[in-house]
Amino acid sequence: MYAKTHAASVFGITAVPVEIEIHAEQGLPGMHIVGLPDNSVREAKERVQAALKNTGFDLPPRRFIINLAPADVRKEGSAFDMAIAIGLLISLQRLPPLDDTNTVIMGELALDGTIRPVHGLLPVAMAMRARGCKRLLVPAPNAAEAAIVDDIDVVPMETLADAVALLNGMLIPTPVRVDVDALFRRERDRTDLDLRDVKGQMSVKRALEVAAAGGHNIIMIGPPGSGKTMIAKRLPGILPPLTLAESLETTKIHSVAGLLPAGRPLVTQRPFRAPHHTISDAALVGGGVGIVRAGEVSLAHHGVLFLDEVPEFQRNVLEVLRQPLEDKRICISRTKMTVEFPANVMLVCSMNPCPCGHYGNPHQQCQCRPEAVQKYMAKISGPLMDRIDIHVQVPAVKVDELSTAPTGEHSASIRARVEAARSIQHERFRGATGVFKNADMTSNDLRMHCVLDAEGAALLRRAMTSMGFSARAYDRIIKVARTIADLGEHDHITASDVAEAVQYRSLDRATWGL
């Protein structure tokens, strides 16, 4: 007998429907799964047979052919187990046929019939709702995640027996409901790290505020122990809270990666990702053999990607960041598929000025030879440095400052100014390009919104000539100056705004003395 159930498969962060067709016939007993399955899908027949038997359903000695359609799209993962098991029972007339496309079944089966959670149910729920699906049967631990999507009934299932009883009409389904707005408001403003904990470093805090206000990339250079990592970890606390749309997009990525914490189905705070310097290029931007996964730069979408001790990263790993930093997305092409991931991140880097870390430190002598300093600095290419808008020196903290109580501003106060600047940018670009951050301005935006007065233009021309800035650096100086003017609530960019912006490019290669 023939039966059909419906599931879904995730590619990148997009879900596509999968029809599971089951044909049972007389013949040599066995179960054959076709339709381009990977190893985890092929192994489903062992899990399904054991789960059915331990639930009280013995399969008769028949030949079962299971087709996963469309057959030209690769299927991977264990989320098809439940749909296959239900389809087998329908083909044996142990269950009534399901309404076509109205019910989607997802879940991995344990050998005792327990239903285990799977990854990527949020994009599945979104895609199935768009296709008119009315009901989604999911593992109980995934129910809250899928229920974030409204207009679709998300029914949690603990065991295969529960699913059978529900489809037989012996169990009344109780769809899960989640108040997304209440959950979002409750969690998004929670923060544990405050910038006030950082002693001294007022100039660095100012640079961080400018970076947050305009969404600019920033690099901090200073000796060991000067607080670079401590400052970077507090950057999310001064960024504007995620909007609900940003939260949902970020949650989709973390859902597919299996990174959603138990009991927290929605990412409500800006991500902070800090990969180790031994990371590969595929792990940083995404990829993999066979299955394409999101990399760290996509997991940091709408948040912060922090590269600590950036010269220690492999050169090829750093260079793959060039295109994502410009385009805010990553397109990974393989022979049989092309997958696109979003990558709208703030890049924050930190580094020592030399191998020993004390080049230019007035309190400790550098032990490195000039050629060693030059080689160390050259590990970061000029094109990549050009894409980092703000370069700031982080001096060693004095002992007197360490022994005093915190005296700086709380993160909440700084965030209020950042939000005010972002609101100005939002209004400025609402009817033009749709860009809401100064760091993302196009050339047309620069001409329209970043006109310099005579004094500022003259100052910038002198800086370009004396410091040897590139054309990209010229545009980025103007963008940073626009952000500084927004923080000061200036309608026009003044010469003082340009001067501060030029100061943040003082670590360009032409001024390192190399």
Residue 509, pLDDT score: 47
Q: Are strands 286-287 and 293-294 parallel, antiparallel or unpaired?
A: antiparallel
Residue pair 212/435 in contact by the 8 Å Cβ criterion: no
Q: How many CB atoms lie within 10 A of CB 322?
A: 14
- The predicted pLDDT at position 290 comes to 66
Residues with Cβ within 8 Å of 182's Cβ and at least 6 positions away in sequence, in order, are: none
Which three-class secondary structure state does DSSP give residue 217? Answer: coil
Supply the range of the domain harboring residue 26.
2-167
Query: In 293-402, which ranges are E strands?
Result: 293-294, 304-307, 329-333, 338-342, 346-351, 390-393
How far the first Cα of the chain sits from its last, in Å, is 77
Q: What is the pTM assigned to this prediction?
A: 0.89
Domain assignment present for 200:
no
- The yes-or-no verdict on residue 85 having pLDDT over 70 is yes
What does residue 313 show for φ and ψ, rounded to 5 degrees? Answer: -70, 150
pLDDT of residue 454: 86
Classify residue 361: in a domain, yes or no: no
- Residue 493, SS3 per DSSP: strand
- Overall domain count for the chain: 1
State the pLDDT at residue 389.
92
Task: Give kind and range of the element (H or E) at residue 498.
Answer: helix 495-503
Write the pLDDT tens digit of every residue in 104-146.
999 999 999 999 999 999 999 999 999 989 999 999 999 999 9
How would residue 413 be classed by pLDDT, with cut points 50, 70 and 90? Answer: very high
Cα 332 to Cα 249, 313, 324: the distances in Å are: 19, 21, 11
Q: Please report whether residue 156 resides in a domain.
A: yes
Residue 209 falls within a domain, yes or no? no
Q: Which helix (H) or strand (E) holds 253?
A: helix 244-257
- Kindly state whether residue 499 falls inside one of the protein's structural domains: no
* DSSP labels, 174-201: ------HHHHHHHHTT-----GGGS-S-
What is the per-residue pLDDT across 239-298, written as a single tens digit (0 to 9) for each? Answer: 998 888 899 999 999 999 999 887 788 898 899 999 999 999 999 998 876 678 899 999
Residue 134 lies in a domain: yes
pLDDT tens digits, 137-191: 999 999 999 999 988 999 999 999 999 999 998 888 889 988 888 877 776 666 6
Q: Taking all residues of the chain, what is their mean pLDDT, rounded to a whole number? A: 88
Q: Is residue 432 pLDDT above 60, yes or no?
A: no
CATH number for the domain that contains residue 99: 3.30.230.10
Q: Of 167-176, 223-232, 399-408, which gets the smallest average pLDDT?
A: 399-408
DSSP one-letter string for 155-170:
EEESBHHHHHHHHTTS
Q: Is 323 part of any domain? A: no
Residue 488 covered by a domain: no
